[in-house]
Amino acid sequence: MSGEMSMIGSVILALFLAGYLGQQFLPPPKPKVIGLDLGTTFCSVGVFQAGSGEVQVIADEEGRKSIPSTVSFTASGVLAGFQALVLADTHPQNTIYDAKRFIGKIFDPEVLEQESARYPFKVINNNGSAEFLISTNTTFTVTPEFIGSRLLLLMKKMAERQLGVSIHKAVISVPAEFDETQRNYTVRAANLAGLEILRVINEPTAAAMAYGLHKVDVSNVLVVDLGGGTLDVSLLNKQGGMFFTRSMAGNNKLGGQDFSQRLLQYAIERVRQEYGVPPFLKEDIHRLRQAVEAAKINLTLQDSVTVRVPLQLHIPDSSGAPQESSLAPVQFQAVITRELFEELNKDLFQKILAPVETVLAEGHLEKGEVDEIVLVGGSTRIPQIRRLISEYFGKEPNTSVDPDLAVVTGVAIQAGIMGGSWPLQVSAIEIPNRHLRKTNFS
Ligand SMILES: *[C@@H]1O[C@H](CO)[C@@H](O)[C@H](O)[C@H]1NC(C)=O
Ligand SMILES: *[C@@H]1O[C@H](CO)[C@@H](O)[C@H](O)[C@H]1NC(C)=O
Ligand SMILES: *[C@@H]1O[C@H](CO)[C@@H](O)[C@H](O)[C@H]1NC(C)=O
Ligand SMILES: *[C@@H]1O[C@H](CO)[C@@H](O)[C@H](O)[C@H]1NC(C)=O
Ligand SMILES: CC(=O)N[C@H]1CO[C@H](CO)[C@@H](O)[C@@H]1O
């Protein structure tokens, strides 16, 4: 009897040991749930690696992690990401971007008309919903969620290629201001790409999670997201591991493009002063735009940048009359200092504080009560913007995570939680706040 007992005991012990050793020496399970950030201008995908306890943001074959949210239609098929972006110049009517601005929204006819005027492609009104008109060898319309699905399919394939397993489940982020319909259409885009969405989380919450703020003792987190064209500020409140959006405000006409535009205006003015005429050719203006865009990025680390662009100008003759018939090649050159860049954009940078003050006022919070400040979006790399925010709060913002990848990093952490590879089983990390309205400055 006691022999039997001890044998059962040994079997149990052996099984236990085998399980223990297995856990120690078997490779950790592959992630089964991916985290998706479907942004207005860029999208990205990440996974939580249970083995290392770290998020891996997945890169394409060329090592790029931020993929343009662009989809292009040709007679032979549909392209997404960088492959679509290269067609933006040659096939502007069939190359769709910014689709997220239209997803799941019902527009007034006049508003939709104004919106479409901003794009080189045709946006048509289907009973209040936006659709895009495509003309290749046939003419047809596509919905914003179809555009989203092609981008998410690309994200899915990038993840499958990297992980070597097929993926069917995901967590996705959306702007905090998205209503239920916009969320549903985002989920539909994922479904069209063959992905089941286990959870939809707000972008600011994801950014806070990227900094591990769901695990530490903080109550009030302010998230500033300054991208290419929009500013979003959210005040989050955390109670017992759950995030709740207290207030939000923003400016949907303020972002990196505006700062580049100021530099472009400056460069055009310099050309006019130097040669008596502004740049004339569309390609020249395009090249100038690209050069000042590169200069802006370099000014994050360097104090000054020299911009050199070859131009073709109608240079005036000795009588001062522009030579309409002949274009003279010139090599335009200008030194742009960081100080000049800050001066040119002073009023725009100052506009960032208005929505910050609004979220504090609407959230009934003093600025001293904000525990952590999280910066998201490429434009928050600009040193003067960081300085403005840290001076306003009298403390340093959290900036250690790449501001372009903070959202996808947080979504991937949530995907890890949903996939069960997180040691601590947290089931819900966000409480929806249905009654919240966003204040917009612009
Ligand atoms: C359009 O062109 C593609 C590729 O050239 C071809 O496969 C397709 O059948 C064409 N469709 C129509 C309707 O002509
Ligand atoms: C257009 O929308 C209205 C209200 O949302 C609906 O009643 C109507 O059936 C729709 N019409 C079409 C053609 O879809
Ligand atoms: C969104 O989807 C959910 C689940 O499918 C559904 O219950 C809800 O009615 C939808 N809401 C809207 C506004 O479409
Ligand atoms: C920006 O920096 C990169 C690398 O640091 C350099 O190759 C490039 O020429 C710089 N551009 C300008 C406009 O200074
Ligand atoms: C500079 C700064 O504020 N860093 C904070 C970022 O967030 C972590 C929490 O994960 C804090 O511990 C840091 O102090």
Mean pLDDT of 247-275: 94
- For residue 125, how far is its CA from the centre of ligand 2 (angstroms)? 12
- For residue 117, how far is its CA from the centre of ligand 2 (angstroms)? 24
Residue 15 has pLDDT above 60, yes or no: no
Atom in ligand 5 nearest the alpha carbon of residue 395: 3
Comparing CA positions, the residue from 270, 261, 189, 203 lying closest to residue 232 is 203
Among 101-115, 202-216, 234-248, 419-433, whose mean pLDDT is lowest? 419-433
For CA atoms 229, 440, 249, 264, the dihedral sign is positive
Among 87-96, 268-277, 370-379, 427-436, whose mean pLDDT is lowest? 427-436
Name the amino acid, one letter, at 421. S
Cα three-residue angle 42-116-98, rounded to 5 degrees: 5
* Helices vs strands, H then E, count in the chain: 13, 20
Chain Cα centroid distance, residue 67 = 10
How far is Cα 245 from Cα 46, in angstroms, rounded to an integer?
24
The ligand minimizing its distance to the Cα of 218 is 5
Structure-token match 């802006």, residue found: 296
Residue 180 has pLDDT above 90, yes or no: yes
- For residue 373, how far is its CA from the centre of ligand 5 (angstroms)? 9
Chain Cα centroid distance, residue 21 = 42
**pLDDT band at 240, cuts 50/70/90?**
confident
Atom in ligand 1 nearest the alpha carbon of residue 137: 1
How far is Cα 342 from Cα 352, in angstroms, rounded to an integer?
14
Residue 427 has pLDDT above 60, yes or no: no
Do residues 224 and 250 touch, judged by C-beta distance below 8 A? Answer: no
Mean pLDDT of 267-288: 92
Q: Residue with the nearest Cα to atom 7 of ligand 1?
A: 76
User: 407 or 422, which is more confident?
Assistant: 407
Ligand 4 binding pocket, CB closer than 6 Å: 294-295, 298, 305, 307
- For residue 420, how far is its CA from the centre of ligand 3 (angstroms)? 26
Would you say the CB of residue 349 lies under 6 angstroms from ligand 5? Answer: no
Residue 433 has pLDDT above 80, yes or no: no
Would you say the CB of residue 232 lies under 6 angstroms from ligand 5? Answer: no
Name the amino acid, one letter, at 234. S
Chain Cα centroid distance, residue 259 = 17
Q: DSSP readout, 104-160?
A: T----HHHHHHHHHTSSSEEEEETTEEEEEEESSSEEEE-HHHHHHHHHHHHHHHHH
Predicted confidence (pLDDT) per residue in 43-99, tens digit: 999 999 988 889 999 999 999 999 999 999 999 999 999 999 999 888 999 999 999
Comparing CA positions, the residue from 199, 153, 159, 152 lying closest to residue 46 is 159
Do residues 235 and 224 touch, judged by C-beta distance below 8 A? Answer: no
- For residue 333, how far is its CA from the centre of ligand 4 (angstroms)? 14
Do residues 169 and 36 touch, judged by C-beta distance below 8 A? Answer: no
And the tokens for 392? 């306003």
Give the predicted TM-score (pTM) of the model: 0.87
And the tokens for 155? 């994200």
Would you say the CB of residue 69 lies under 6 angstroms from ligand 5? Answer: no
Among 10-24, 51-65, 251-265, 311-325, whose mean pLDDT is lowest? 10-24
Structure-token match 């360097």, residue found: 302
Residue to probe by mutation, ligand 1, list 134, 137, 138, 139, most atoms within 8 Å of CB = 137
Do residues 132 and 142 touch, judged by C-beta distance below 8 A? Answer: yes
Q: DSSP readout, 207-221?
A: HHHHTTTTTS--SEE
Residue 373 has pLDDT above 70, yes or no: yes
Predicted confidence (pLDDT) per residue in 126-176, tens digit: 999 999 999 999 999 999 999 999 999 999 999 999 999 999 999 999 999
In angstroms and rounded to an integer, the radius of gyration of the C-alpha atoms of the chain is 26
Which bin fits 240, alpha (ψ -120 to 50), beta or left (φ > 0)? left
The ligand minimizing its distance to the Cα of 294 is 4
pLDDT of residue 241: 80
The residues that bridge with 332 in the sheet, in sequence order, are 309
Residue 325 has pLDDT above 80, yes or no: no
Structure-token match 């000049």, residue found: 340
pLDDT of residue 298: 96
Atom in ligand 5 nearest the alpha carbon of residue 373: 3
Residue 208 has pLDDT above 90, yes or no: yes
Comparing CA positions, the residue from 245, 147, 168, 164 lying closest to residue 203 is 245
The ligand minimizing its distance to the Cα of 304 is 4
Angle between helices 203-210 and 406-418 (to 10 degrees): 90
Atom in ligand 3 nearest the alpha carbon of residue 184: 1
And the tokens for 355? 């929505």
Atom in ligand 5 nearest the alpha carbon of residue 211: 10
- For residue 176, how far is its CA from the centre of ligand 3 (angstroms)? 17
Question: Do β-strands 54-57 and 67-68 pair in parallel, antiparallel, or remain unpaired?
Answer: unpaired
- For residue 149, how far is its CA from the centre of ligand 1 (angstroms)? 22
How far is Cα 38 from Cα 197, in angstroms, rounded to an integer?
13
Structure-token match 């991937």, residue found: 412
- Whole-Å CA distances, 106 to 74, 128, 181: 28, 5, 10
Strands (E), 184-287: 196-202, 220-226, 231-239, 242-251
The torsion angles phi and psi of 339, rounded to 5 degrees, stand at -60, -45
Ligand 1 binding pocket, CB closer than 6 Å: 75-76, 137-138
And the tokens for 94? 């069939």
What domains are defined for the chain? 33-216+400-440 (3.30.420.40), 256-346 (3.90.640.10)
Atom in ligand 4 nearest the alpha carbon of residue 308: 13
The ligand minimizing its distance to the Cα of 183 is 3
Predicted confidence (pLDDT) per residue in 279-299, tens digit: 988 889 999 999 999 999 999
Structure-token match 């003792």, residue found: 217
Would you say the CB of residue 114 lies under 6 angstroms from ligand 3? Answer: no
Residue 1 has pLDDT above 50, yes or no: no
Mean pLDDT of the chain: 90
Which sequence positions are flagged as catalytic?
37, 100, 203, 225
Would you say the CB of residue 398 lies under 6 angstroms from ligand 5? Answer: yes
Q: Residue with the nearest Cα to atom 3 of ligand 3?
A: 184
